[in-house]
């Protein structure tokens, strides 16, 4: 899949003097049904996360607190996205190599996923990913 399928999506934001509210609904705000939710936090300064691709999994990544960068690579192009607002998220299509870096102190990365965890869906070796991307797997 081309990197152009990946994009920032603005979520609804209900403003209120007592605090704002944002929500995500299956296949309404994001292009898939949510089957798993997880979050990454307490990332030490200078650390990177990710460094893998998924064969079939769709993801929506939100910076719930703080900020970080998501670097996507489709095997031909690379693009960096800076996430720093909790009412925006990044849609990541399958077969996209991803690295997360540049975490600010106290950042929380929330990920909404289209499938439950399956190690078989991961590609953890970059050379294997490039070969699969070239073949259009």
Catalytic option among 52, 54, 58, 82: 52
Q: Catalytic: 54?
A: no
Give CA separation, 46 vs 24, 35, 73, 103, 108, in Å: 30, 31, 21, 7, 15
The C-alpha atoms of residue 47 and residue 126 are separated, in whole angstroms, by 18
DSSP 11: P
The C-alpha atoms of residue 101 and residue 25 are separated, in whole angstroms, by 27
Q: Which residues are catalytic?
A: 52
């Amino acid at each position: 899949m081309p990197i152009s399928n990946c994009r920032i999506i603005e979520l609804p934001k209900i403003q209120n003097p007592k605090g704002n509210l944002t929500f995500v609904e299956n296949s309404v705000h994001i292009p898939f049904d949510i089957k798993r939710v997880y979050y990454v936090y307490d990332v030490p300064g200078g650390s990177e996360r990710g460094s893998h691709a998924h064969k079939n999994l769709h993801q929506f990544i939100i910076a719930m607190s703080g900020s970080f960068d998501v670097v996507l690579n489709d095997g031909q192009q690379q693009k960096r996205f800076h996430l720093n607002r909790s009412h925006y998220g990044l849609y990541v299509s399958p077969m996209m190599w991803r690295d997360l870096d540049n975490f600010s102190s106290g950042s929380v990365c929330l990920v909404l996923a289209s499938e439950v965890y399956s190690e078989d869906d991961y590609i953890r070796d970059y050379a294997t990913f490039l070969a699969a991307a070239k073949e259009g797997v």
